[in-house]
Structure 1
């Protein structure tokens, strides 16, 4: 069955309003016609079984509202040092598939891209769309929020739950670290940019209660490290595997 994302504000108990681009997608791309069924998810945990109708314009008639339990019990915020080019898009897509709830683009001392306010807003919008599409593809019911880019100082005031920093200089591995602490339903995971963290940044994180861990003897690229750590966390505390 076709599956699309529609924000909650356009959904009523009886019907779902469609925008022109969504109508084109359903009719031209998916080749649906009047009377065909569609699954809609609102990005906040609910799904709707609906039927495509045309009465003065196409819309979806709600036939059943559902609240499937497909989200991980582990709520992860991924704070990713901003990466160059397509790498950031790739991390957002794959992190969404791995069940993160929130993604924070983080600007650090060794971040390479220059952040311009206007272009930055466009990037955030595009990254949010990537998360939305990845949630649809992976059958999630929640679309993770991609926040505005944050400085280290601002981020440190907001980090919550079990706070973990991955650093290539740390010998203690992530699995070893997690053995010694109680499971937490909420985790904030920080991954550096291509150039990694400065020692001063690591000290700042530690002063704010972050635990530092590594991922073994090999040096992983930033985008690889993010996904490896997310997989470990979801396997141990969440719903992966």
Structure 2
């Protein structure tokens, strides 16, 4: 059985024998919800590559301590995968973020596509972004990730074009594309960007802009996937052809 994982702000310089104090909401969840007990084994991570394992030394209302028994440090996974996710309606955005986090993407970029049904503005934008980030955080703990994904601020099409231009490989998922995904050469390192359109589909102008910036327009197969699941299908296909899944 995998040990529970909790996120802490930093673990730089922590060594075996040190005592780490966990406070606030994370500690409250562990103690009040999970019923964490003294002596229980727990993993702490800073979400930036460092993880420690040890036994719980004490618990309080919103605090617990852990005596470090082992320390591990992991390099960022390569190639790095970034998914530009057109904002879907309802809870499908959180679903997309959850499964993309579980499969190992480095960044999720919410995108205000021309045909996105949902619109993020003002207070709604702040709340929606906060939900996506909370979903990524919890999914990363569940997946036992040492490196947690970033969920960036909502991007415009122009900002996505710039992201595509700087990638080692960029693919745009488009049901009308003539090129099959199987023909794409996947690099073993660098940055890979996957652009996922909205429920209403990509506009011709959006596809043209991304292709002009260096992206490859591809189809995954005969089926048309939902925007909340297309990204994870593409990322799985990509990772299966890299050393990460070798």
- Fold agreement, TM-score > 0.5: yes
Aligned pairs for 1:188-203 (under 5 A) are 188-203=193-208
Distance 1:63 1:201 in 2: 52
Within the candidate set 95, 104, 109, 2:100 is matched to 95
Which of 141, 145, 149 matches 2:154? 149
Q: How many residues align?
A: 238
Partners of 1:140 and 1:165 in 2: CA distance: 27
1:5 equivalent among 1, 7, 21: 7
Q: Please give the secondary structure, in 1, of the residue aligned with 2:43.
A: strand
Displacement of 1:184 after TM fit? 4.3
TM (norm. structure 2) is 0.87
The aligned residue for residue 83 of structure 2 is: 78
Structure 2, unaligned stretches of length 5 or more?
Answer: none
Q: Is residue 40–residue 47 contact of structure 1 (8 Å, CA) maintained in 2? A: yes
SS in 2 for 1:58: strand
Deviation string, structure 1 residues 158-192 (Cα, Å, up to 9, x no partner): 332211111111021111223xx654432011010
Which of 96, 99, 122 is 1:117 aligned to? 122
- The separation in 1 between residues aligned to 2:13 and 2:95, in whole angstroms, is 30
Distance (Å, rounded) in 2 between the aligned partners of 1:2 and 1:184: 31
* 1:4 shift after superposition: 1.3
Cα distance change, pair 214–114 in 1 and its aligned pair in 2 (3 A) = same
User: What CA distance in whole angstroms lies between the structure 1 residues aligned with 2:107 and 2:13?
Assistant: 23
**What do residues 5-38 of structure 1 show as CA deviations (whole Å, max 9, x unaligned)?**
2222798553333224333322233322223321
Q: Deviations over 1:21-74 (max 9, x none)?
A: 3333222333222233211111111111133223996322333221257x6432
Name which of 17, 29, 45 aligns with 2:49.
45
Offset of residue 236 of structure 1: 0.8
User: Does 2:66 correspond to 1:66?
Assistant: no
Aligned residue for 2:83, secondary structure, equals strand
Q: Deviations over 1:147-166 (max 9, x none)?
A: 01010112222332211111
1:165 aligned residue = 172
How many Å separate the matches in 2 of 1:148 and 1:61?
Answer: 37
1:136-155 per-residue CA deviation (whole Å, 9 max, x = no partner) reads 11121111000010101122
1:106 is aligned, of 105, 111, 114, to 111
- Separation of aligned partners in 2, 1:239 and 1:120: 34
Q: Any runs of at least 4 consecutive aligned residues in structure 1 with deviations exceeding 4 A, and if so which?
A: 9-13, 181-184
